[in-house]
Chain A
């Protein structure tokens, strides 16, 4: 499989990338790891006229803690997230999800920013970003702005990111009591259903919960019905079960394909919600 022809240019800085993006007037695509884009280009499902390589822009990758928050550069590859000692300790749900993406070689190239911008409905990261209530940092010709993950994922392959903007990083408060549970599609290993749960627990009471869901519908969403059911509840198997049962009840656009019908997917949402919640509580 071979892509159509394009011009290639390497950006030396963010400003350079933005200038090149602006100059291409919508005909350009950014490429970092390229592990969402290159497969599409090879299948000729994406035919950009210009590729702007942002992989080597200084400062675009790395994992840093500051003021109780963590910032991950958009150019950070999945393997570096999965193997980060800092994250494994402070935010295990994120390393767990990163380790579920693709396979080792894919994780050596694919980047956080690329995955978020591409927003495959079955990608793993979006569920975790929602559960972390992460902030996505974006730069564009009109300056820098931030978007909450909850507002970022808008539809199938559709996010709050203009054609002339670049994701630069994500920021979030790490959550120790979190977990990611996934039902694998057995060919692609994408998520049929993936649930990320982040809990705040004190004195055996769930003070707050954020639960993100991927794979089930057109884009990743928060399972607010579960979050509300858990808030203020004592930790108990019954309470977890009862809350998990509500998972996905309000969803109207459940996916259906060869690998899982709408009914099966819908039924798997509570199952994996429960699994994520139980594992998250084990980490509380």
Chain B
């Protein structure tokens, strides 16, 4: 008998990604790489004004062009495509995929062309002439709340989409009863109060692959196949079926290789509905692929929350109360999750601290801008930023060390599970441990000495520190209108190889690798014998998708649950073969053997083969080795960490330079630390980008001023120092993996720690706060003596 190689345990190892060989050779298939016979191309004519009534659309020149198949105006599309649905329970104005009689942001579609190729489609879209009766553009969010200079949706007075939803101490669970006594008392008893208006500015997500869709309705079969650059093909299938009048069994949605999502590809967009609906009308396959210039106006933006923050404390640093009055500028319409995102800011207002009284209120406001929705972190970076900036302001006011102020107020390990004032139940945590590791890893004392030495030379150097806690592993079905579970089906094939489906739909997260690590360990088979299938509703029968840092915590758990069912059944077959008890079998090194009797080992594949040709069929068993599981988590997970940065500002120009960034992240147990590092790096880059160089800016007329990479600074390699990472490990009890999720973490701690460092660097000028981004001119003005 040949000796079997000993297979290493893979979970916890830095396993190289199996996605990479195709991607590094240009062999991945993204949506724009798909070509179907007879496929035609769409181009959208978009509004070049922010707010107007459409008075006329002349499509005659476009229709007359050689190669143009059809042109549709919004009114024509409205005849066969219902208004766009949303996924939140808030009231919402009607939103048509292509505007019918009015446009409400610059870039809103007004007509669509179907043509032979993308060149002709573009020519034809340019030839459409639209006449507008302009209305005043609503740009400033606080002015918008007074109904000025216009009301965008008549049914939403003063442009209020969601008005003053309170949360926190003294507020009943449904928000209907509000008792102010505790929060009022906290501020009355305060010895020091920090009050600051802060802006968490609007960002453009900028997945490197713009959005794209191919839709193919086959009239003979009455079925639709839709390929889309999406984070959640199953949700796409649900909505495409609903809006095109098909059953979910008649729609197959495929997320092929997806070039980044960052939350922006959760939403189901008008272009997806329109492409599918026109394909159904014309009975031909259609493709639409977004230009980058289009993406800046047509793909949802992120953040854009203004906060009035009040923090009450005693002079010894003990926190007494926090008030967070949030105003979210959500743009012109509600998209799938638009209204829900800022509620996560409220939910996380409690941060990592014992705060006796917390009150968060939220107002969401329509403006004539591109709608907002999820962007990496989605509501939690905003909460972290507001609280951690306020903590730093308090430390400065009290002349306390910023680390010691935080330490004094931490929720203690013994307090977990910890029910916050704002409705979260933190699963597990050890914040002091993360802080201590950050101080040690960054050599905080030495950094302080370096900073002081640099200052003595007249340089403007600052240090910043920030804690964070985020909500991940989203989430129980009560938290998501689509359901908060995840699904997996595991099949041991007849040859002993294993295929496993997951409803998580990765777009860079490497789940083909991490999930294969888990299955290989679970069944004791070689990594190479496992294939992870995802992103195709024709193959993956059910699923929710990849967002909210949920793939591992929710999807990974469903995977091993399904695996356990199959393994148990396989053990029954093996028990029959071995004439042993099913609980006495050992799966390892590609074999199955009886415990304590390694010589009894049979190849894994031979047991698999038996299960498919079961002669004799053991009593009570059906043939085959395939089973599925749905995992419904009982709670979210709450990863946390501490980030530290060092930053220098050029005294003459105001240019900031990030010198150092140390990130301590606790995501619970890690399946693949190499991939986790990559996720943290990416999150840091987006957080640093927000702090330092990224900002969506609109002109007074509602025109986007940062509509290309000429004006919207996407971080380059030269914009970053080498990141320094370390981890603490506090497993979650919420799932059997103990994994919390890590996709978004980097965006949380980085922004406040950088701004804290900038304020520290500018301390000689008496500045208390500076809003992101750290525009050189803004910092230069502070240095010149003007206050922020």
Contacts and interface: CB of A to CB of B under 8 A. Distances in A.
Interface of A: 1-2, 4, 43-44, 183, 186-188, 258-261, 264, 267-268, 271
A130 to B, nearest CB: 22
Contacts of A187: 693, 706, 709-714
A184 B123 CA distance: 35
Contacts of A267: 780
B493 interface: no
Interface in B666-706: 693, 697, 705-706
Contacts of B713: 186-187
Given A183-B653, A258-B705, A2 B119 contact: yes
Nearest to A265: B777
A258 B780 contact: no
B764 interface: no
A27 B432 CA distance: 71
B653 A268 contact: yes
A271 B697 contact: no
A267 B291 CA distance: 37
B487 to A, nearest CB: 40
Contacts of B17: none
A267 B706 CA distance: 24
Contacts of A43: 293
A271 B118 CA distance: 48
B122 interface: yes
B710 A260 contact: no
B123 A4 contact: yes
Contact of A271 (B119, B126, B653, B777): B653
Contacts of A259: 711, 777
Nearest to B692: A186
Contacts of A264: 776-777, 780-781
Nearest to B777: A264
7 contacts: A1-B293, A186-B693, A188-B710, A188-B711, A258-B706, A264-B777, A264-B781
Nearest to A189: B716
Contacts of A1: 122, 291, 293
B652 interface: yes
A258 B697 CA distance: 8
Contacts of A260: 777
Which of A2, A186, A267 is packed against the most chain B CB atoms within 10 Å?
A186
Nearest to A4: B123
Contacts of A4: 123
Contacts of B710: 187-188
A43 B710 CA distance: 13
Which of A187, A188, A267 is packed against the most chain B CB atoms within 10 Å?
A187
Contacts of B126: 44
Contacts of B122: 1-2
Nearest to A190: B710
Which of B293, B653, B709 is packed against the most chain A CB atoms within 10 Å?
B653
B171 to A, nearest CB: 41
A243 to B, nearest CB: 16
A1 B710 CA distance: 15
Which of A2, A260, A271 is packed against the most chain B CB atoms within 10 Å?
A2
A261 B118 CA distance: 39
B714 to A, nearest CB: 7
A70 B359 CA distance: 71
A264 B650 CA distance: 14
Contact of B709 (A44, A183, A188): A188
B65 to A, nearest CB: 12
Nearest to B709: A187
A267 B655 CA distance: 14
A260 B781 CA distance: 12
Nearest to A275: B652
Interface string B122-133: 110010000000
A268 B293 CA distance: 31
A271 B652 contact: yes
B693 to A, nearest CB: 5
A46 B710 CA distance: 17
A185 B697 CA distance: 15
Contacts of A44: 126
A40 to B, nearest CB: 12
Given A183-B776, A187-B709, A187-B711, 10 more contacts: A1-B293, A2-B119, A183-B653, A186-B776, A187-B712, A188-B709, A258-B711, A260-B777, A261-B777, A264-B777
Contacts of B123: 2, 4
Contacts of B655: 183
A43 B777 CA distance: 29
A261 B781 CA distance: 11
Contacts of B705: 258
Contacts of B709: 187-188
Nearest to B118: A2
B694 to A, nearest CB: 9
Contacts of A188: 709-711
A258 B704 CA distance: 11
A161 B84 CA distance: 54
A261 B712 CA distance: 17
Contacts of B706: 187, 258
Which of A4, A183, A264 is packed against the most chain B CB atoms within 10 Å?
A264
Contacts of B653: 183, 268, 271
Contacts of A261: 777
A259 to B, nearest CB: 7
B608 to A, nearest CB: 51
B766 to A, nearest CB: 21
Contacts of B697: 258
B421 to A, nearest CB: 40
A241 to B, nearest CB: 12
Interface in B651-671: 652-653, 655
Contacts of B119: 2
Contacts of A2: 118-119, 122-123
A74 B293 CA distance: 32
A267 B776 CA distance: 12
B729 to A, nearest CB: 37
A142 to B, nearest CB: 37
Nearest to A261: B777
A160 B780 CA distance: 37
B292 to A, nearest CB: 8
A116 B124 CA distance: 35
Nearest to A270: B652
Contacts of B780: 264, 267
Contacts of B293: 1, 43
Contacts of B118: 2
A4 B123 CA distance: 7
Interface in B102-123: 118-119, 122-123
Contacts of B781: 264
B294 to A, nearest CB: 9
A188 B711 CA distance: 6
A260 B705 CA distance: 13
A188 B693 CA distance: 12
B178 to A, nearest CB: 42
A4 B777 CA distance: 39
A117 B655 CA distance: 31
B672 to A, nearest CB: 33
A271 B655 CA distance: 12
Contacts of B714: 187
Contacts of B712: 187
Interface in B707-721: 709-714
A2 B292 CA distance: 12
Contacts of A271: 652-653
Nearest to B713: A187
A162 B781 CA distance: 43
Nearest to B710: A188
B726 to A, nearest CB: 30
Contacts of A268: 653
Contacts of A186: 693, 713, 776
A29 B693 CA distance: 36
A110 to B, nearest CB: 15
Nearest to B121: A2
